[in-house]
Structure formats: C-alpha cells, structure tokens
Structure 1
Amino acid sequence: MTSVRPRHDTINAVFDGVYLALASNMLLVVGCLPLVLLAFTTDATQSWPLYAIAAPLCAPGLCGVFGVMSAYSAGRSTTGLRTFGRTWLATARPAMLWAAAATALLVVLGVDARALWGHRAGALALPVLATLTVLTVATALLGLVAIAERPAAPLRDVARACLYLAVRRWYLTAGSLLVLALLAQLVTARPALGLGLAAAPLLYVVWANSHFALRPALDPPTVAPQTT
C-alpha cells in the first residue's frame, strides 16, 4: 500500500499539471485577445502602432497567467479560472499603466533607432539604444511578475526594484528573455502549437526565473527580534 499511494499522487500531480497548462494556454489567449487578433489579421511591420495600443490591454491577462502559476507552485492549486479572474481584477489598473509606460518607451527607442540607422551617429547611439531596449523589456517583464504578486505596490518602487534586479541577476534575466524569444518565434511560425501547447511551459520557466530574481523584493529579510 505504501508504494501505491506515492504512485497515485504522482499520477494526480501529472494530470493536474497538464490540465493547468492547457487551461493557462486558453486563459493566455483570452487575456491577450487584442494582440492575438492583430497577429492573425495584420502585418506587424505595417501595423505596429496598433500593436503598441493593444499591448497594455493584454498586461492584466499575462499577470493573471502568472498568478495561476504562482498559486500552483505555492500549493498545487488547480482553480485556474478563479485565480486568473481574481488576479486580473486586482492587477488591471497597475498592469496596464506599467505596460503603457514600457510600450511608450520602447516606441521612442524604436523610432530613434530607425532615424539613426545608416547615419554616422548611429554607430555610437545604436548600441546604447539596443541596451536600453533590452533593459526596458527585462524590467517590464519582471514588473508584471511583481505586480501579479503585489498588485498594490507603488509602480515607482516596482520600477526601481525590477531595474536593479534585472541587472543584478542578469543571468536569470538573459534566460527569461531567451525563452521569451523562443516562444515568440514559435508562435509566429506555428501559432496553434505555440499558443495551444508550448506557451504555458515556456512562460512557467519565465515566471520561475523572474520570481526567483525578485525574491529580495518579494520576500525582504526579516529582522531578528532584539533581546534585552
């Protein structure tokens, strides 16, 4: 009997994980529906202003998926829809403001890079703009994970902590960005495979890396009580 019980628990854990991954994929598509519709109906190179407008609207959905992953990691919770809805409502305003600020900065950096491309000044400015772009994406990603965990945190504090930790733990940041780039390539090449199967496992890696990088901010060290 002792050997049957662990095997039964393992099978349940596998089915719970598969169910939650499929549910997360569905919730991701629903939460990011504006971008999904644009991706299937427009050319990104020609319609990038529409993408810039739609991106902040999808931020609460991504926070919702991160909330589902956090709840599952903490207690094997499989109430994905309820957790997603609760996180979406709690993070809607800060997540959209955060994503709007990051998107605006990325648009400015992209326009500057386009204007300097092929000019002599670009040889010096373009590497700086590329570095700022990577830092912006990394900080924005960490910020969405932080907002999913602490929706009431002031965005100024989120920006300061996430920028510092994105640089301080650059190896985790680099891993998350590489996985995110892989997901973007997969969704572009095989949308059904990317959104239907691969999104949740790859985003879980991104969430786990980001959550670990944010531990100093999410779980500040406790001060031991002084003894007299």
Structure 2
Amino acid sequence: MRIRPGIIATVFDLAYLTLTTNLLLVLGCLPLLAVALTTDTTRSWPLLALLAPLCAPALCGVFAVFAAYTDDRSTTVASTFARTWRASFRRASQLGALTTGVLVVLGVDARAAWGHSVGAVAIPLLATAAVLTTAAALLALAVLAELPTARLRDALRVSLYQAVRHWPLTLLSLVVLVLLQTVFASRPAVALGLAAAPLLYVVWANSRFALRSVLRPTAGRSVATGH
C-alpha cells in the first residue's frame, strides 16, 4: 500500500510544529521553568508567582501558532510566535500578573480557612472562584493571541461569560491542564519535549470554539481594541 506524499508532508509538518512550539514555549517560560526544576516549589512558590506572568505572552504565541496552522496550514512557527509574543506582551503580562495575584490570594484564604468551621462554606466558594479565574484567563489569552490590541477588560469580560456558557469545554481544558502539570511533575522532559503542544492544542481548540463569535474572521470589532 502506497502512502500518499501529502500524508507524509502533513506528518512532517505536525512533527515540526510540535517540536518547535515546545521549544519556543520552553524559551518563553525559561525563568519559571528554571526555578520550578531546581528548587523545592513548596518553598519557592512566591518566586514562581512572580515569574508566572512571563509565561502569558508565550502562551499567546503558542495559541497564535495553532491558529495559523489550523486556518492556513502555516508552518512559520518561529515568526508567528515571535510576532504574537511582541504584540501581546504588555496585555498578556498584565493578564498573567492579575490572574496569578488573584489565585495567590484565593489560595492563601483557602489555607487560612482550612480546619475551621468557616472552611466548609468558604473553601468551595474560593475553589470555584479559582476555577473561574483560570478559565477566564485561558480564554482571554486566546483572544489576545488573535486580537493583541483588544482591551484587557473587554477580553476578560467576554472570556468569563463564554467560559461559564461553555462549561463542558472549560472543564475539559482544565482537566487537560491538570494532566499536563501531572506529566511535568513526573517526567519534565516528556512534558516539555512532546506533550505540551498536543495538550495545549486541545485547550486552544476548546477556547477558540467557545469564542467563535468573537474570533471569527470578520469579528475584529467584536472585542473593543485599545486604538
């Protein structure tokens, strides 16, 4: 049975896209990864929280690579990533800092409530707030990946609404992120070298579907821009 040249080309394109995207993601998150891999994260978490916002522009770049390949079969991975990273850096970093700050506050509050009677009510509420914060941030990064000049406030408002509206997709994305974190904790090389791009593609695809009314080709005016 002959294998058509088009199939072989697609396989090579996907392999190149996966490996290159993983490499660029590692470079974009290098400070965070260096601390996470060389320290006890239970003690270095404040430093990790400070470095985490630097990963947000890298995730925007990854999402832009996925969008370019899905729409146009573009394999200009490095240039697409770099262009989106530069264009989204300010807003994505602000989003990352905001999200990290909220999650840290929620985590500290949950730790303080643990073991107390108020925890029975407070902890589920705090956990729900953390899930919604993470979900809205993921969708907002997908918005910024394709509309880098979108106002952060508008992107977050739309993302929170769509995350709740499409909660099954949101839940799947969060499960995939937990899976990626689990693989990273046990096999960092496998997570960063192979698993990151395919798993993040699932997260991006879910986010884009949830945001399809905002990110359709003619929807440049669906999210207000900063200009």
Establish whether TM, by shorter chain, passes 0.5: yes
Q: Determine which of 167, 175, 199 is the counterpart of 1:202.
A: 199
Query: What is aligned with 1:33?
Result: 30
Number of residue equivalences: 219
Unaligned runs of 5+ in 2: 220-227
The 4+ residue runs of structure 1 with deviation greater than 4 A are none
Distance in structure 2 (CA, Å) of the matches to 1:161 and 1:220: 17
How large is the RMSD of aligned CA atoms in angstroms? 1.6
1:138 shift after superposition? 0.6
Query: What is aligned with 1:49?
Result: 46
Q: Determine which of 3, 7, 20 is the counterpart of 2:4.
A: 7
Q: Give the partner amino acid of 2:57.
A: P
Distance in structure 1 (CA, Å) of the matches to 2:159 and 2:41: 28
Query: What is aligned with 2:103?
Result: 106
Q: How does 1:152-171 map to 2 (within 5 A)?
A: 152-171=149-168
Note if contact 1:32-1:62 (Cα within 8 Å) is conserved in structure 2: no
Q: How does 1:176-215 map to 2 (within 5 A)?
A: 176-215=173-212
Distance in structure 1 (CA, Å) of the matches to 2:90 and 2:187: 32
Q: How does 1:64-213 map to 2 (within 5 A)?
A: 64-213=61-210
Alpha-carbon displacement from aligned partner over 1:119-161 (angstroms, at most 9, x marks no partner): 1111111110010011011111111111111110111111110
Distance in structure 2 (CA, Å) of the matches to 1:209 and 1:56: 22
Note if contact 1:63-1:144 (Cα within 8 Å) is conserved in structure 2: yes
Structure 2 residue matching 1:118: 3-state secondary structure = coil
Distance in structure 1 (CA, Å) of the matches to 2:31 and 2:206: 27
Structure 1 residue matching 2:40: 3-state secondary structure = coil
Unaligned runs of 5+ in 1: 223-228
Alpha-carbon displacement from aligned partner over 1:161-218 (angstroms, at most 9, x marks no partner): 0000000000100111111110110011000111101111111111111111111222
TM-score (norm: length of structure 1):
0.93
Distance in structure 1 (CA, Å) of the matches to 2:42 and 2:137: 22
Distance in structure 1 (CA, Å) of the matches to 2:210 and 2:101: 25
Distance in structure 1 (CA, Å) of the matches to 2:21 and 2:54: 18
Q: Percent identity?
A: 59
TM-score (norm: length of structure 2):
0.93
